[in-house]
């Protein structure tokens, strides 16, 4: 079947633009520049797509990035206290651009979160301004809600902690941070991935305890959880990735499309309802902001102070009503009435959730976490190559290009990325079609090179009818690859009318 002739479906075309080693001469080691193994996403970019950040050990390197040009090394941010597991870029109304680094040493179980405050023009530090939050164990996951300034961190204490960066006129120059350690409690194992919903009301989390959970910050409750597929090997069930997706970004395939019968009337795509709604009686005690009394230290005394409200017992309430202790807590830490109303008005029913395990991908409804699509094998499995460490064989790298309705899913251990197109029809049936698979990179002796980071960048030639993206990959041997991803033909804009799930 010639997909290129279909106008309305408009599949994507993927082509390798260039590949080159990252130019970090001062940090080269014997055998070449190699990033840290067994980490999460070590790649981040700014909103304009012209500044590239790569984490290496305790360092964060900055590159100037131009479309269809090689990146240029610009400098290094201040050294972090531990090995960096993940980095995330965000732009907040309170502070401007920041880079958050999750750090940890699992051998001695120390951890930290570092917030770098960046100059908007140069992306270097504002003076030498950074803040280090020292925590009791390794930190792995990061999510930032840019609307209200909340930063969520997941760690090896099986909890999600929350940091709120306040405006200086809210607390004064010595009260810029509000911290709630162990805010979201309920997982039984480490949490490698978390993701805020658009307005910051919900947090989704994927855990090694084999579950996906959704937390509601306006009520203080875990509002749903979903178990992964029932399989024999324990490590295959571990949760590695999670991401919210807007339902209006999923392309509708009409009945008169030549491929409608192929996608929705044949049995070529596996869809399998899964036990997903949580047992309310069993999990009613799973709440947010049931805080453990554990120390969190802040370094950098000039901007260090925690508001005294942390010590007030009323702020640790876990009332189930929307006017209970948690809403009081959110008001007290400086969230505006507009932010609170936006959070309370946000609905999970117009969202989807992607949940990934070792080699399995689940697409679930955000409202009740009912499974819509289950893909048992997203990337090809291969045992060749000594670098294919079993512990790194996991789908832990996710990014989404909404204009293309395209999900990039990276298996870190074998360095393979699948580009999965999300489709739906008018009655709310969903499909995931693997459009393309980025080939595995091999080093000497045909060893597979694991991935260190993945990022979708919207291209400068973007248009509504024919959007263009770049898929940027960084491998553990320090090699950068840039792929061009675009529609093969023009198509109508996304249509969200008359779609029900």
- Most confident among 85-99, 210-224, 310-324, 384-398 (mean pLDDT): 85-99
Closest to 222 measured CA to CA, from 290, 163, 154: 290
Helix H or strand E segment including 141 = strand 139-145
Nearest to 459 by CA among 20, 25, 53, 66: 66
CATH number of the CATH domain containing 126: 2.130.10.10
pLDDT in tens, 48-74: 888 999 998 899 999 888 876 778 888
Report the pLDDT value the prediction gives residue 7, as an integer from 0 to 100.
44
Beta bridge partners of 141: 154
Residue 288 lies in a domain: yes
Q: What are phi and psi of 360, to 5 degrees?
A: -120, 145
Distance of alpha carbon 298 from the chain centroid: 25
Is the pLDDT confidence value at 321 over 80?
no
What are the φ/ψ torsions at residue 118 (nearest 5 degrees)? -110, 145
Considering the domain boundaries, does residue 496 fall inside one?
A: no
pLDDT at 1 over 70: no
Q: What's this model's pTM, rounded to 2 decimal places? A: 0.84
Query: Is a pLDDT exceeding 90 seen at residue 288?
Result: no
Asked whether residue 214 is assigned to any structural domain, the reply reads yes
The whole-number pLDDT of residue 296 equals: 44
- Sheet of 159-165: strand order equals 139-145, 150-155, 159-165, 177-185
d(CA 221, CA 204) in angstroms, rounded, equals 12
> How many domains does one find in the chain?
1
Boundaries of domain holding 242: 3-377+393-487
SS3 content of the chain, % helix, strand, coil (to 5): 15, 40, 45
Are 194 and 203 a contacting pair, CB within 8 Å?
yes
At residue 266, the pLDDT reads: 66
The C-alpha atoms of residue 386 and residue 443 are separated, in whole angstroms, by 11
Residue 92 lies in a domain: yes
Is 499 part of a structural domain of the chain? Answer: no
DSSP string for 420-444: EEEEE-TTS-EEEEEEEEEPPPB-G
**Is 477 inside a domain boundary?**
yes
Would 497 be classed as within a structural domain?
Answer: no
pLDDT at 144: 95
Q: Classify residue 3 by its DSSP letter.
A: G
Q: Which segments of 58-118 are extended strands (E)?
A: 59-64, 72-76, 84-92, 96-105, 110-118
Across 279-293, 306-320, 423-437, 444-458, least confident range? 306-320
Would you say residue 492 has pLDDT above 60?
no
Does residue 384 lie in a domain region?
A: no
Confidence of residue 322 (pLDDT cuts 50, 70, 90): very low
- The whole-number pLDDT of residue 337 equals 77
């Amino acid at each position: 079947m010639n997909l290129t002739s279909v106008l309305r479906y408009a599949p994507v075309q993927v082509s390798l633009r260039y590949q080159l080693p990252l130019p970090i001469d001062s940090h080269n080691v014997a055998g070449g520049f190699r990033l840290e193994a067994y980490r999460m996403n070590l790649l981040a970019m700014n909103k304009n797509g012209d500044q590239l950040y790569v984490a290496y050990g305790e360092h964060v390197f900055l590159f100037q990035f131009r479309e269809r040009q090689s990146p240029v090394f610009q400098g290094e941010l201040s050294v972090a206290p531990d090995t960096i597991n993940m980095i995330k870029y965000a732009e907040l109304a309170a502070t401007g651009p920041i880079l958050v680094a999750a750090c940890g040493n699992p051998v001695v179980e120390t951890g930290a979160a570092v917030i770098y405050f960046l100059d908007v023009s140069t992306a270097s530090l504002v003076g030498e301004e950074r803040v280090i939050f020292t925590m009791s164990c390794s930190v792995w996951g990061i999510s930032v809600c840019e609307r209200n300034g909340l930063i969520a961190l997941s760690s090896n204490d099986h909890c999600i902690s929350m940091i709120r960066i306040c405006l200086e006129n809210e607390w004064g120059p010595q009260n810029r941070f509000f911290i709630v350690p162990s805010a979201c409690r309920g997982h039984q194992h480490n949490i490698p991935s978390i993701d805020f919903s658009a307005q910051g009301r919900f947090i989704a989390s994927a855990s090694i305890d084999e579950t996906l959970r959704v937390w509601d910050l306006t009520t203080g409750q875990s509002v749903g959880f979903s178990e992964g597929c029932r399989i024999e090997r324990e490590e295959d069930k571990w949760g590695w990735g999670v991401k919210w997706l807007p339902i209006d970004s999923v392309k509708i395939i009409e009945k008169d499309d030549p491929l409608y019968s192929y996608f929705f009337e044949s049995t070529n795509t596996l869809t399998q309802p899964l036990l997903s709604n949580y047992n309310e009686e069993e999990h009613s005690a799973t709440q947010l902001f049931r805080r453990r009394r554990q120390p969190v230290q802040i370094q950098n005394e000039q901007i260090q102070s925690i508001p005294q409200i942390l010590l007030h017992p009323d702020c640790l309430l876990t009332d189930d009503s929307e006017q209970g202790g948690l809403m009081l807590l959110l008001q007290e830490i400086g969230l505006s009435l507009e932010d609170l109303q936006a959070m309370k008005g946000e609905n999970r029913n117009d969202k989807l959730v992607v949940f990934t395990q070792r080699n399995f991908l689940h697409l679930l409804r955000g409202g009740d976490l009912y499974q819509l699509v289950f893909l048992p094998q997203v990337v090809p499995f291969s045992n060749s190559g000594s670098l294919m460490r079993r512990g790194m064989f996991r789908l832990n790298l996710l990014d989404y290009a909404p204009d293309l309705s395209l999900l990039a899913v990276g298996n870190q251990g074998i360095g393979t990325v699948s580009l999965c197109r999300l489709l739906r029809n008018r009655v709310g049936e969903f499909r995931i079609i693997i459009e393309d698979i980025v080939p595995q990179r091999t080093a000497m002796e045909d060893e597979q090179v694991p991935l260190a980071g993945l990022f979708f960048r919207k291209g400068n030639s973007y248009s509504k009818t024919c959007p263009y993206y770049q898929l940027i990959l960084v491998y553990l041997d320090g090699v950068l690859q840039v792929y061009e991803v675009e529609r093969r033909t023009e198509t109508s804009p996304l249509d969200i009318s008359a779609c029900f799930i």
